Structure 1
Amino acid sequence: MKSNIFTAKRPFSTSHSSVDSEEIKKFQLLAHKWWDEEGEYAALHSMNDIRVPFIRDTLLSMSSNYQLGNPLSGIKILDVGCGGGLLSEPLGRLGASVTGIDPVEDNIRTADRHKSFDPVLAERIQYKSSSLEEIVEDSMETFDVIVASEVVEHVADLEMFIKCCSQVLKPEGSLFITTINKTQLSYVLGIVVAEKIMGIVPEGTHEWEKFVPPEELERLLESNGFSVRSMKGMLYNPLSGSWSWVQSTSLNYALHAVRAGAPPQPHATDTLPETDVQQHSATAGTAGTVPDSAV
C-alpha cells in the first residue's frame, strides 16, 4: 500500500543504489497525491486513526515519564518509508523528534513542503531521501523507535531489512510494523478487490508473493534480537473508509517488537584470573575494589 521499495542488494553500502528504479518510477507518479484524503492514499489517512494510538499508547505503557500535551517528547523516531509524511506528522504533533526516510525523492519533496505549513512540525521532523541500509553506518543505535507501516511487503530482502532495523535502534528500543498477511483471502481482498475492482489503492501497488505471514515475520525478528510483545489484526471497511482492530490476522496486522537490551558487562572477577584479582584488590585501597583499568 505504501511506496517504499528497499532492495538491499548491497547492504550497508552507500556507493550503490539500494532501490529498484522501476518501482520508483511507478510511485513517483503518485507522489503529489499523498495529502489528498479522498484519493489513492485515503486508506492510509484513515489508518492513522488506529496506528497512531497503537504506537502512542504502547510507548506510554512502557514509561511513566511523559509530558501532558507532548507525550512522546524526547523520543527519537525513525519513520522508514515515510512517503509524504502521513505518519510522521501526527507522531511529531505528539512531541516526538521524527526522521522520515523514503527512497522516492518526490515523496520527500511532498513531505517537506507539507510540514513547512506548521512551524512546530518544521522543527520536530526532518526528511531524507534514502533507503534504510544507506543510513545504517551513520545511525548506529540512534533511534528509540522505528515505525515501518505498510513497508515490509515491498522489501526485496526482508531479513536484511530487519537486521538494519536492529542496527539503528537503541537497545530496548521499539519497532512497530503494519503489513499484509500472505493468505488466499489477502490475495482476493487485497489485490483483486482493493486494486482491480474497487480501486482503493492503485493497481500494481502490491505483489502477493511479497506479502509476509506473521509467523515468518516473528521468526525473522526473534532471530535478529527482537522480542515480539504484541500482534493484532486490522480490518479496513471500504464502505465506511475506516479501520478497526480484529482478532484475525488473516488480512492486515500490526505488531510491536522490542530489541534486546545491551548484554551485561562482565564483572572483573569474570575476566581476570583469580591471582590477578587478588593483586589488584591489594593495591586498590581498603575497599578492595578492582580499578577500572583492570576490566
Structure 2
Amino acid sequence: MYANKLNRLMLGLCSRQTTAAGRSAFSWTAVCKQRTLWLQERACLKTRRHVVTCHTSARSASQTTVDPDEVRRFQSLAGKWWDEQGEFAALHALNDLRVPFVRDNLLNVHRTPRPGKPLGGLRILDVGCGGGLLTEPLGRLGANVLGIDPVGNSIGTAQLHSAIDPDLRNRVCYRASTLEELSAELGGEGEEQGADPFDAIVASEVVEHLADLETFASCCNHVLKPGGSLFITTLNKTNLSYILGIVVAEQLLRIVPSGTHDWEKFISPVDLERLLESNGFSVQSVQGMLYNPASGAWSWTNSTAINYALHAVKVRDEPHADRAEDGGSRPEDHAGAAHS
C-alpha cells in the first residue's frame, strides 16, 4: 500500500512541477535556493580546479567524451556492480524496462524471427557498460555484444562475471576503451577499412556523465551501420529531476552514492533530439520512465520530466542523390542501389 501511495505521489509530481503558493507542503523556494547555492559552490570549485590544472586543459573537450572526475568516481565503485542490493540496485531493476525497449525496437527493424535468440546475428555496442549489467542480458538474447568503458576495473569486473556463464563466452566481450578510441580505429570510412560497424548502440545512464555530447553523437554515427539504432536512457534537465534525482535519490534516500550526478550535465529530450538530428540521426520514440524507491521498480510513464528512454536511427544515405538533376535514374542505377 505504501509503495502504491508513493508511486502516485511521484506521478503527481511529474505531471505538476509547479504548485500554487500556500497549497503545498513542498517548498520550491527553499529547493531553488538550495540548488542555486549548490551551483555557485560547484562553479567556485571548478574555477579553483582550473587555476590549478590549467596546463592540462589544452586538449579540446571536443576530442574526448571522458570526464576524469567521473572516471575516478566509478573507479571506486568498480567492485560493486553486481551487488543487487547495493549502489547499483536501481540499474539492476532498470533492466525490466531497458532490455525489452532495446529488444522490441530492434525486432521492429530486423524482422527475421529467431526462436529463443531473438537478437541473434546482431552486433551491439554497449557504451559505458560498467560491470556489464545490460551487456549480459543482451548477449543472452543472442546478440554479439561489445561492452566498452574507460574504467579498467569495471571492465575487469564485467569479464570475471561473464566468464562463469558458458552461454556468454562467444557472444559477449569487453574492452577498456572510450567511444572515440573505437571510432578512430575505423579510420575515415569504416567499410573501406574493412571494419565491421554495429547494428545498434546502447548508452544507458551514460550521457549524463560525459564530457562532450557532440563527440559522443558524432562517434555513434561513425560506428553504426546505416539504419542502425541508438538507444539512450538518461535524466531530463528539470527542477523535478534535480529534486528527485539528486536531493532525494542521493542526499535523502541514498539510492545512489552522493555526487553521482551533476545536474548541469542533464539534457532535455528536445535538446538531445536536436543534437542527434544534427549528427545524422532520426529520433523514433521518446518514453518517460519512473522509479519507485519504495518498491524498487521502474515503470513507463507519459511524463519525461525525470527519466526517459530514447530510440534513434542512423539516417540512410540517399543513393545517387546527385543524379536527380539528370532527369531520372537509369536501370543500372536501380541495380546498383539494390546491391548496396
Bin of the TM-score, shorter chain as denominator length? 0.7 to 0.9
Among 167, 173, 176, the residue aligned to 2:231:
176
Name the structure 1 match of 2:75: 28
Cα distance, 1:118–1:216 mapped onto 2, change above 3 Å: same
Task: Judge which range, 109-118 or 152-161, deviates more.
Answer: 152-161
What's the counterpart of residue 277 of structure 2? 222
Matched, 1:93 2:148: no
Judged with a 3 Å threshold, the aligned counterparts in structure 2 of structure 1 residues 59 and 27 are, in CA distance, closer, same or farther, namely same
- Conserved in 2, the CA contact under 8 Å of 1:145 and 1:175? yes
Distance 2:154 2:332 in 1: 61
| Offset at residue 262 of structure 1 (A) | 2.5
- Structure 2: distance between partners of 1:110 and 1:60: 30
Answer yes or no: is the 8 Å Cα contact 2:221–2:314 preserved in 1: yes
Q: How does 1:37-186 map to 2 (within 5 A)?
A: 37-139=84-186, 140=190, 142-186=197-241
Judge conservation of contact 1:66–1:73 (CA < 8 Å) in 2: no
Match of 1:198 among 213, 231, 253: 253
> Partner amino acid for 2:228?
G
CA deviation vs aligned residue, 1:80-106 (integer Å, no higher than 9, x gap): 000000000000000000000000000
Pick the structure with more helix per residue.
2
Distance 2:149 2:267 in 1: 20
Give the structure 2 partner of residue 188 of structure 1.
Answer: 243
Per-residue CA distance 1:230-277 (angstroms, 9 max, x = gap) = 111000000000000000000000010001012313587968xxxxxx
Q: How many pairs align?
A: 266
C-alpha contact 1:8 1:157 (8 A) present in aligned 2: no
Partner of 2:53: none
- Structure 1 residue 137: deviation in Å? 2.1
Q: Deviation of residue 10 (structure 1)? A: 5.8
Whole-angstrom distance in 1 between the partners of 2:72 and 2:202: 24
Change (3 A) 1:89 1:268: same
Alpha-carbon distance between aligned partners in 2 of 1:245 and 1:217, rounded to the nearest angstrom: 19
RMSD over aligned Cα atoms: 2.3
- Aligned identity (percent) is 60
Task: For residue 135 of structure 1, give the secondary structure of its aligned residue in structure 2.
Answer: helix
CA distance 1:151–1:8, shift in 2 (3 Å)? farther
What is the match of residue 290 of structure 2? Answer: 235
CA contact (8 A) 1:8 1:133 kept: no
CA contact (8 A) 2:81 2:133 kept: yes
Code of the aligned partner of 2:88: Y
- 1:9 aligns to 2:56 (yes or no): no
CA 1:228–1:71 in 2, change beyond 3 Å: closer, same or farther?
same
Residue 265 (structure 1) aligned with residue 265 (structure 2): no
**Structure 1 residues 227 and 267: CA distance shift in structure 2, 3 A:** closer
Q: Which sits farther off after the overlay, 233-242 or 56-65?
A: 56-65
Quick check: 1:101–1:129 contact (8 Å CA) kept in 2? yes
**Could you report, residue by residue, the CA deviation over 1:204-239 in whole angstroms, capped at 9, with x for unpaired residues?**
000000001110000001111111101110000000
Shift of 1:61: 1.6
Partner Cα distance (1:31, 1:288) in 2: 56
Distance between the aligned counterparts of 2:181 and 2:101, measured in 1?
28
Aligned residue for 2:275, secondary structure, equals helix
Q: 1:31 to 1:229 in 2, by over 3 A?
A: same
| 1:174–1:259 contact (8 Å) kept in structure 2 | yes
Relative to 1, partners in 2 of residues 1:254 and 1:10: Cα closer, same or farther, differing over 3 Å? closer
Kindly tell me: are residues 268 and 47 of structure 1, through their superposed partners in 2, closer, same or farther at Cα, counting changes over 3 Å?
closer
TM-score by length of 1: 0.85
Moved over 4 A (4+): 266-271
Gap change, CA 1:8 and 1:256, over 3 Å in 2: farther
| Distance in 2 of aligned mates of 1:288 and 1:190 | 56
Give the structure 2 partner of residue 278 of structure 1.
none
Once residues 192 and 20 of structure 1 are traced to their aligned partners in structure 2, the CA distance between those partners, rounded to angstroms, is 22
